[in-house]
Structure 1
Amino acid sequence: MSAVIGLSQPGDGDWSNVQGSQYALLSERVFARVLLHVFGLVLVFSQLHSSVSWTVLGGWTALLIATIAHGAVIDRKLADASRRLFTRREYWGHAANQLAKGAVWGSLVAYAALTGNLTGAMIVWGVTALLVVTSSASRFSAPLGAIAFCGAIGLVSSIAFIISGAVVPAALAFVTALCGAGAAVETARISMTARVAQTGMDEKSQVVSFLLREYEDTDADWLFELDTGRRLRSVTPRLAFALSRELDEIEGASFIQLIAGDAWETGKFPPSLHVFADKLKRRESFSDLVVEVSIGGKRRWWELSGTAITAPDGSYAGFRGVGSDVTEQQESSAKIAYLARYDTLTSLPNRLMLTETLGAALRYAEKWRTRCAFLMIDLDRFKAVNDSLGHLVGDRMLSEVAKRLNSLMTENEMCGRLGGDEFAVVIRDAGDRSYVTKVAQSIIQHLSEPYQIDHHVLYVGASIGAAFGPRDGRTVEELMRNADLSLYRVKDEGGGQFHEYEPSLHATAEERRKLELSLRSALANNELFLNFQPVVNARSENLVSFEALVRWKNPDHGIVSPAKFIPLAEDTRLIVPIGQWVMQEACNEAATWPEYVKINVNVSPEQLLEPDFATTVVQALSRSGLTPSRLEIEVTESIFLRDADVARRALEQVMALGCSVALDDFGTGYSSLGYLRKLKFSTIKVDRSFVQGASQNSAESLAIINAVVAMAGSLGMTTTAEGVETAEEAAMIRDMGCDKIQGYHFGRPMPVEEVRAVFKRSETIRTA
């Protein structure tokens, strides 16, 4: 009885949930109850206006209307009580209003009876008897309020009738109120029983819907159910197959023990398994939780979703959930993560990981008031090895250099490859300068020892420039730039040495200043020109496009390598006007070619950050008359290193014109896999390092090329393999599914005259 009225907890159920669902029903009949009270008010007023003082009747009417209005407001506010926390304050507030309303009605009965107007008292009591009956029917979901209303009317009326000598009316008033309250409680008991049962059914329905939805949305492989002891029950054949066990073997067994494998004995669980166990322990629902498990002694990854089961009495009954094996996806993600931060040729950390590590070392140095160091390493005479023996031997030498360098590292250092023949070392704690000098000299000594590669005894040296943080720079970029300046100083002095950064590195700064000064006037002096390298169809070997490559010939500096003046142009923002010139010249030349030949133009990240980049492309196309579909913009992964959104918007504007966009040097420096979904590249260019690695049967390079080809195909993109130098490499790339090939085997970068000669020969052959 106490639970039905709401004075105590309903068994193991939640008081707020049960009472909230009951009191929410009050909002459904607010208007009817208000109308009934107004009807009673009108009836009483019409019968008593001549026998009761207008002052008393008016005051009573105002008080009654106030309590009716307040009660209607309370009932309206309870409309969402089933969907939120229903409080004790609301519960007692509703009961207080009903008590006040009953007392107001009873007060008029008492006034009439005590003033000798027994007829008027009986009329008012008749109206209140009607209200008592209707209250027990309409407020069955709030029995305490019905009891308060009926009790107040019955008590006040009975006392008044007894005082006035009307014993029979007093008894009738008391019995009527008692019956009304009893009827309300009994109706409430029946309603609550049905409500609790319905709540249980709804909860079970939600669990089933959750499981089915999870099963369909995640394409889960199997279902699982656990009891309160986290033991398996109702095991399905698919779950038994996933566990590599028999059904009767795992029914009732500990789920955690089954998926922990040997770790169950040692207690050294994977972190993800600890998280899963904690979720079960705390009875928390979980979704898409990736857990490392051990099945048959092999490491696997499962993706699990589940929710706690509630028994009919409201108690915890275990867990139900769905799961699937995502081992292949996890291994693929791990491979992609490795590719993002490690160099595929040397297996050393790449530029991205080096910059992240150096940033962490800088923060450590500033926190503990010590120093970190960045060593930039360049191999001496490596170009001679590459030119004389080829890139295959050069790449093997780089691998040997990486092994030697890595063998010298301790927990305080990390080495990596910046690109080409440049390596770097991050020293976390460089408070002792003599220690840094010792590390640098050891690196130079070990890297300068002879290499035995393909029956060749080869020698290279090493030059090292160093910068200390935060003394020589408080940012990663400043430290790397200053270490690079130190390296220039060493190279100028002949190499093979170690040099720390000094603010007075005049020689390098002067050379850079002169080169920059000459570059600023290169466009005005017509010193820049274009070379074009052909790109062919992998199957037919027919010409598909040419890549435009900018070259610089200066009277003072001679032919300046693009590897030297392009970075300088980017640092000084000269790349923007140079890039605009390249774009216009390339489009002008391509407009004279056959329509089936496209032009590929490289674009620097600095150009993409210009707000009018798309305008530059439009002007180049309109002035040259080149069709937009024949222009392909090539960008490198470095566009995603900073201001990625700005670069993406610029490329989307270009694609809207009808141009295509290619991702060059894929996988060599920065992770851009997330943007392959957001930006519709037309082509992914496989870097030559992967091609060379594949030609040496490198499993990693072969796997990466296959993955890139498959990924590009699934995304509707084509692939171009760079750096193909032999017929054997071309056949290998063709067999691996690449769409286009670029490299010395099909043509070196050539001046515009040779390009035109190619088309003339093709036209002559076609018309012959």
Structure 2
Amino acid sequence: MVGHLAFAVIAAALLYRGVSPVWLGAWVLLVAAVGIQGVKIDAGLAEAHERKITNTEFRRHVLFAGLVGLVWSIAPLFLAHGLPLAVQATLWTIIAALILGSILFYGSAPLTIISFTGIVGAACAGSFALQGHNSLAALSAIFTAIALFGSIEVARTSLRAQLALSGVNEKDEVVSLLLREFEEGEADWLWQIDTTRKVRAISPRFAYALSQQQADAEGKPLLQLIAGKHWETGKFPASLHDLADRLKNRESFSNLIVEVSIRGEPRWWELSGTPMRDDKGNFAGFRGVGSDVTSQRESSEKIAYLARFDTLTSLPNRLQLTEALGDALKYSAEWRTKCAFLMIDLDRFKAVNDSLGHLVGDKLLAQVAARLKNIVNDNILCGRLGGDEFAVVIRDASEAKIVANVAKQIIESLSQPYQVDNHTCYVGASVGSAVGPRDGESVEELMRNADLALYRSKDEGGGEHFVYEPSLHALAEERRQLELSLRDALNNDEFLLHYQPVVDANDHTIVSFEALVRWQSKDHGFVSPAKFIPLAEDTRLIVPIGKWVLRQACMEARKWPEHVKINVNVSPEQLLEPDFTNEVVEALAASGLRPERLEIEVTESIFLRDASIARAALEQVMALGCGVALDDFGTGYSSLGYLRKLRFSTIKVDKTFVQGAAVRNAESLAIVRAVVAMAQSLDMTTTAEGVETEEEAQLIRQLGCDKIQGFYFGRPMTGEDALKLFVQSMRRSA
């Protein structure tokens, strides 16, 4: 635009003396107008190198160049016509300069140059010819022809340069891509094939990957080299089909995982490739990089296996079970059938794990899994949820009693004895089941309801199969509400202690009291210990509750005569706490009770959790001077070994043996006599529990028990009532 305006001003100054200023001014303004419009059109093509020019834009550019040529043609045809030859020659020089400038600036747009140059050149030559200046007309025509031919050659040269530059850039991009993938992807080799997909310029590393010599592999089809036996049958793996399609369609690909066969050995390669082009843009083959990822593939497959299978039992894990249950629910909804989910929990497995060790427990779980695999078929999937919990998904449970039959088969199979490392182990199985979509339309709901049924089976003693019932939700909700209240019971001062007397078997004098915790809930009223103690142990709330019981019992016992002891039951959860001994010391210190007056009562189950920790804790308690009583002897997992290692002060005979002896049951009588004899030989005292009649008391005395506890001598009572017993005794003595 600047050039056109400058030359227009020069031309106007040249023609000023022979042309009306009005016409000159109008012509200069016209040149300026078309120049400004030309700038706008060119600005619209500023990004033409990044996109394709439309036909409309192309025609507009060419036609506007012709319009500019017409505007400049006014000067030689009309404004300078008839003026001195020197003026016309000078005007022609200006126009020639414009023609050369257009060739320089629009070298890549030859039609634009032709449109402008052809029109304005023809106008100059015509003007000279009309005035009889034939030599100048011929000179103008020749110059215009040379300019037109030159513009075409300049455009051709420019186009070739651009194509060559584009080719170089493309090759640079390909090389950069290959090098980047080679370096970042840790590629092992470079590969290249021609248009017939035969390998060319094979590198030593590629030949090594093919397990062939370079000369032997050169010129062979790539697919033949990596397909192995599949080449002859034509039955390629899916990944090889994918590679062949990409090569056929000349598509670039990156990080393509391909299953290959090298010398009959299956391998996995990761290939990347880019089509090659020659100088004329014709397809010349493929070039790329590759690497052997067999080990990584095997690792990923192993990770995928671990994500869906249990490592100990090789059964499907929770993830796969939930997926299978989800598929079964979808199948049921689609075909109007039923599906089922069974949850299995091993009975008495914890005792085996604790007594024989986790290694034996793991081997036992493996044998359980082997038995469960026997019931697996296309319709039944067995898996392990975790710990000693297993599950079964029945895809189609429409057949009558299929769930009950499967559950019965599981219980019978898992209840058979196991031989593990020369140990004979007995565990049973409890099963809870839920049927979908009747008992739940989602995976979570069905699993939760089966768990509720299993929980009921465990509550009933195990070894049974229970199906889900809607009422179980109410029981679960009650337990949840009870747990919420139990968590606040201590802060709300809802616990209280009752004390049951223990008397001397000979003179019936009170020798001790057993502290028994009671819960008077503000939300639930009186809650039976049989109901809240197991809940407290499951939630570990028994630890703070037990600490409170210990302290309160010692405080109350401080009010009694010095010869009367206090017996406090300690849960295994509480005993295994690291600071249990400190709690005993703090309770004694806070109450001022002599250690000899405190007797800790434990059951045999404490030795099934961690015998070494339990024994160390009890030895520390005995070192303080406190006694330790073994409660419910004979009803649990009895072992004479810990009686020899740990010096109990008292052995309490369970009431079931006492009541059995009262009816002259031979086995019960033998057990009581054996316990008494053993205790006497170990310098321990014995306490008979559950004595309710005079006859039972007389019999226990005859059998040699030292102390008696039961309703016959007193029911659990408040601390005030217990204290009154001593006050009344002192009054009678007085």
Normalised to the residue count of structure 1, the TM-score between the two structures is 0.61
The CA distance in 2 between the partners of 1:749 and 1:331, in whole Å, is: 49
1:661 aligned residue: none
The 5 Å alignment of 1:347-366 reads 347-366=314-333
- State the match for 1:443 in structure 2: 410
Asked whether 1:397 is paired with 2:397, we answer no
Distance in 1, Cα, partners of 2:354 & 2:180: 62
1:82 aligns with 2:40: no
For residues 563 and 239 of structure 1, the distance between their equivalents in structure 2, rounded to whole angstroms, comes to: 67
Q: Secondary structure at the match of 1:253?
A: coil
**1:44-443 paired onto structure 2 within 5 Å:** 44-49=11-16, 51-112=18-79, 124-162=91-129, 167-367=134-334, 370-432=337-399, 434-443=401-410
Q: Distance in 2 between matches of 1:84 and 1:185?
A: 23
Deviation at 1:181, TM superposition (A): 0.9
Q: What's the offset of the Cα at 1:150? A: 0.5
* 8 Å contact kept, 2:193–2:285: yes
- The answer to whether the 8 A contact 1:376-1:424 is kept is yes
Q: Contact between 2:483 and 2:535, CA under 8 Å: does it hold in 1?
A: no
For 2:539, what is the secondary structure of its paired residue?
A: helix
Paired with 1:404 and 1:95, the residues of 2 have a C-alpha distance of: 87
Provide the aligned C-alpha RMSD in A. Answer: 3.8
For 1:347-366, what per-residue CA distance to the aligned partner results, in whole angstroms no more than 9, with x for missing partners? 11222222233334334444
| AA matched with 1:505 | L
Matched letter for residue 229 of structure 1: T
144-153 vs 301-310, which deviates more?
Answer: 301-310
Note if 1:565 corresponds to 2:532.
no
For 1:354 and 1:469, locate their aligned partners in 2 and report how far apart those are by CA, in whole Å: 15
Offset at residue 481 of structure 1 (A)? 0.9
* CA drift at 1:243: 1.6
| Letter aligned with residue 406 of structure 1 | K
The question of whether the paired residues in 2 share the 8 Å contact of 1:465 and 1:490 is answered with: yes
Partner of 2:630: none
- CA distance in 1: counterparts of 2:53 and 2:307, whole angstroms: 52
Q: What code does the residue aligned with 1:312 have?
A: D
Q: Deviation digits for residues 609-668 of structure 1, max 9, x if unmatched? A: xxxxxxxxxxxxxxxxxxxxxxxxxxxxxxxxxxxxxxxxxxxxxxxxxxxxxxxxxxxx
Determine if the alignment matches structure 1 residue 484 to structure 2 residue 458. Answer: no
Q: Kindly indicate whether the alpha-carbon contact (under 8 Å) linking 1:350 and 1:417 is maintained by their aligned counterparts in 2.
A: yes
1-structure distance, mates of 2:518, 2:220? 77
- The alignment-based identity, stated in percent, is 52
8 A Cα contact 2:349 2:427, kept in partner = yes
Q: Does 1:512 align with 2:512?
A: no
Q: Is the 8 A contact 1:553 1:559 kept in 2?
A: no
Decide whether the 8 Å contact of 2:5 with 2:28 is kept in 1: no
**The residue matched to 1:94 in structure 2 has which SS?**
helix
The answer on whether the counterparts of 1:488 and 1:508 sit within 8 Å (CA) in structure 2 is no
| Equivalent position amino acid for 1:191 in 2 | S
**Equivalent residues in 2 for 1:652-663 (5 A)?**
none
d(CA) in 1 for partners of 2:540, 2:92: 101
Q: 1:474 to 1:68 in 2, by over 3 A?
A: farther
AA aligned opposite 1:419: G
> Residue 329 of structure 1: CA displacement?
2.0
Q: Relative to structure 1, is the Cα distance of residues 431 and 160 closer, same or farther in structure 2, using a 3 angstrom cutoff?
A: farther
- Cα distance in 2 for residues equivalent to 1:230 and 1:330: 27
CA contact (8 A) 1:223 1:236 kept: yes
Q: Could you tell me which amino acid in structure 1 is paired with residue 108 of structure 2?
A: S
**CA–CA separation in structure 1 for the residues paired with 2:411 and 2:286:** 61
Aligned to 1:521, the other structure's residue is in SS state: helix
For the 8 Å contact 2:73–2:124, the answer to whether it is kept is: yes
Matched with 2:694 is: none
Counterpart amino acid of residue 253 in structure 1: K
1:361 partner amino acid: A
Alignment of 1:665-704 (within 5 A): none
Structure 1 residues 527 and 368 mapped into 2: Cα distance closer, same or farther (>3 Å)? farther
Whether the 8 Å contact between 1:112 and 1:120 is mirrored in structure 2 is no
Q: Structure 1's 236 and 187: CA in aligned 2 closer, same or farther, altered over 3 A? A: same
1:752–1:194 Cα change, 3 Å:
farther
The DSSP-based 3-state class of the residue aligned with 1:488 is helix
CA distance in 2, matches of 1:358, 1:563: 33
Flag the 1:500–1:182 CA change in 2: closer, same or farther, 3 A: same
| Separation of aligned partners in 2, 1:507 and 1:749 | 41
Deviation per CA, 1:543-595, whole angstroms, max 9, x where unpaired?
xxxxxxxxx9996557658994389xxxxxxxxxxxxxxxxxxxx99xx9xxx
Alpha carbons of 1:442 and 1:270: their partners in 2 closer, same or farther (altered >3 Å)?
farther
One-letter code aligned to 1:420: G
The answer to whether the Cα contact below 8 Å between 1:379 and 1:460 also exists between their aligned partners in 2 is yes
Which among 29, 32, 38 is matched to residue 5 of structure 2? Answer: 38
Residue 300 of structure 1 aligns to a residue in which SS?
A: strand
Relative distance call for 1:123 and 1:401 in structure 2 (3 A) is same
Deviation at 1:422, TM superposition (A): 0.8
Larger Rg: 2
Alpha-carbon shift at residue 89 of structure 1 (Å): 4.1
Shift of the alpha carbon at 1:295? 2.0
Q: Write the deviation string for residues 506-563 of structure 1: whole angstroms up to 9, x where unpaired.
A: 67426624642444325637999xxxxxxxxxxxxxxxxxxxxxxx999655765899
The residue type paired with residue 521 of structure 1 is: D
CA drift of 1:54 comes to 4.8
Report how far residue 484 of structure 1 moved.
Answer: 0.5
Cα separation, partners in 2 of 1:253 and 1:157, compared to 1, 3 Å:
same
Q: Which has the higher contact order (CA 8 A, sep 6+)?
A: 1
Q: Kindly tell me: are residues 40 and 329 of structure 1, through their superposed partners in 2, closer, same or farther at Cα, counting changes over 3 Å? A: same
Supply the AA of the counterpart residue of 2:299: S
Query: For 2:82 and 2:518, how far apart are their aligned partners in 1?
Result: 121
2:181, 2:187 within 8 Å by CA — same for their partners in 1? Answer: yes
On the 8 A contact 1:415/1:425 being kept in 2, the answer is yes
The 1:560/1:312 distance shift into structure 2, 3 A limit, reads farther
CA distance in 2, matches of 1:269, 1:220: 24
Structure 1 Cα separation of the partners of residues 537 and 200 of structure 2 = 66
Q: CA deviation at 1:499?
A: 3.1
Q: For residues 300 and 114 of structure 1, do their structure 2 counterparts lie closer, same or farther at Cα, with a shift above 3 Å needed?
A: same
Q: Specify whether residues 426 and 145 from structure 1 end up closer, same or farther in structure 2 by C-alpha distance, changes over 3 A only.
A: same
Alignment check: 8 A CA contact 1:150 1:178 kept? no
Q: Amino acid of the residue matched to residue 61 of structure 1?
A: V
Q: Classify the secondary structure of the residue corresponding to 1:314.
A: coil
SS of match in other structure, 2:471: coil
Give 3-state SS (helix, strand or coil) of 1:47's partner: helix
1:115-136: CA deviations, max 9, x gaps? 8898876554432222112222
Cα gap change, 1:414 to 1:73, in 2 (>3 Å): farther
Q: What runs of 5+ residues in structure 2 fail to find an aligned partner? A: 496-516, 520-528, 542-577, 583-608, 624-734
